[in-house]
Amino acid sequence: MTVLEKFTTPIGVALDRFIAAKQGEFPFATGELSQLLRDIALASKIINREINRAGLSGIEGSIGADNVQGERQQMLDVIADYRFTRALVIGGQTCGIVSEEVEDIIDTKNNDAKYFVTIDPLDGSSNIDVNVSVGTIFSIYRRKSEIGTPPTQKDYLQKGSEQVAAGYILYGSSTMLVFTTGFGVNGFTYEPSLGEYFLSHPDMKIKEDGSIYSVNEGGYHSFPQGVKDYIDSCKQRELSARYIGSLVADFHRNLLKGGMYMYPSTEKYQNGKLRLLYECNSLAFIIEQAGGMASNGEKRILDIKPEEKHQRTPLYIGSKKMVEEVLSYLKKEQLA
């Protein structure tokens, strides 16, 4: 490539332009969902800035208290929760929020808004202090409660199959926003000097079969027998074991390269560790749109009827053939 070619190569479609062009595809397209996605993108840019300078600005580490999940809250968890909530409150398109960091439903006081958001503002945040990638995960639903009234549990006790959009932001070697509105999956890379996301991964698809399995094998002895047998078979076939311990990063790698992430039930986490409403459902919508599969070991994640806002579920997610295989091992275990 000549120097001139290098400097005249198009950068690509900016997120705003992409959203505007695709608005017609959005369910009930009236511009509000587009605006909501822009609000999330804006908040993510602020979080990106905070994460990149965390070591210098003294905002690493824990705040010394636990969140609703009984897990240690990091300072950046609190900051991310504040930023996303504020963006959604001011943005005006969201009537309520369920956040990993907050026990109760957050009433944004936007009673006329049509959408409800579930969010893990900063997933994998214990990785921040050691400079490992973290992420944000979100889902967007049409509200079920009546417009003009405060949000209720009807709004978040919807099956994942009712999501109108879902996405994640990966704060990694580059910052990326990946989302779906039910018409495929598109990935955007943040260009910090321009302050914009640009389309870098159009129409993302996961390989039907993969060669990476991602699981915290520290829990091996308390995994269901089927999962143990499956892991043993991965080892016999010398598949690659890759586990960052940061869900968005593990998921993103597997999406790009082909693989499966698992968080089965363990002795410590009888229903798995991950949360249905703002971790599993969001990623399940994305993986299905990319041609992959997501299950709790018995049924499709997107078909689970939630009963509680912070409920957990086991998760098997990634390349279709790998998920089918672990499911067949789990079935064999039941029949044995």
State the Cα–Cα distance between residues 139 and 137, nearest whole angstrom. Answer: 7
Sequence-distant (6+) residues with CB within 8 A of 203 are 184, 185, 186
77: contact with Mg ion by CB under 5 A: no
Rank residues 50 and 123 by Cβ distance to Mg ion and give the closer one. Answer: 123
Asked if 288 is part of the footprint of Mg ion (rule: CB under 5 A), the reply reads no
The least CB distance from residue 241 to ligand AHM, in Å, is 13
Q: Which amino acid is present at 331? A: K
> Could you tell me where the beta strands, DSSP code E, fall in 174-235?
175-180, 185-191, 196-201, 212-214
* Piece of 56-64, 85-93, 180-188, 243-251 that binds ligand AHM (CB under 6 A): 243-251
- What lies within 8 Å, CB to CB, of 62 at 6+ separation is 72, 73, 74, 75
Neighbours of 265 (CB within 10 A): 20
Instruction: State the number of binding residues for Mg ion (CB under 5 A).
Output: 2
State the binding string over 103-132 for Mg ion (x if CB under 5 A, else -).
Answer: -----------------x--x---------
CB nearer ligand AHM, residue 95 or residue 287: 287
Closest separation in Å from C-beta 77 to ligand AHM: 8
Kindly state whether residue 216 participates in binding ligand AHM, applying the rule CB under 6 A.
yes
How many CB atoms neighbour CB 128 within 10 A? Answer: 24
On whether the CB atoms of residues 242 and 195 are closer than 8 A, the answer is: no
Segment near ligand AHM (CB under 6 A), from 18-26, 119-127, 286-294, 303-311?
Answer: 119-127
Binding site for ligand AHM (CB under 6 A): 71, 100, 120, 123-125, 216, 245-247, 250, 273
Binding site for Mg ion (CB under 5 A): 120, 123
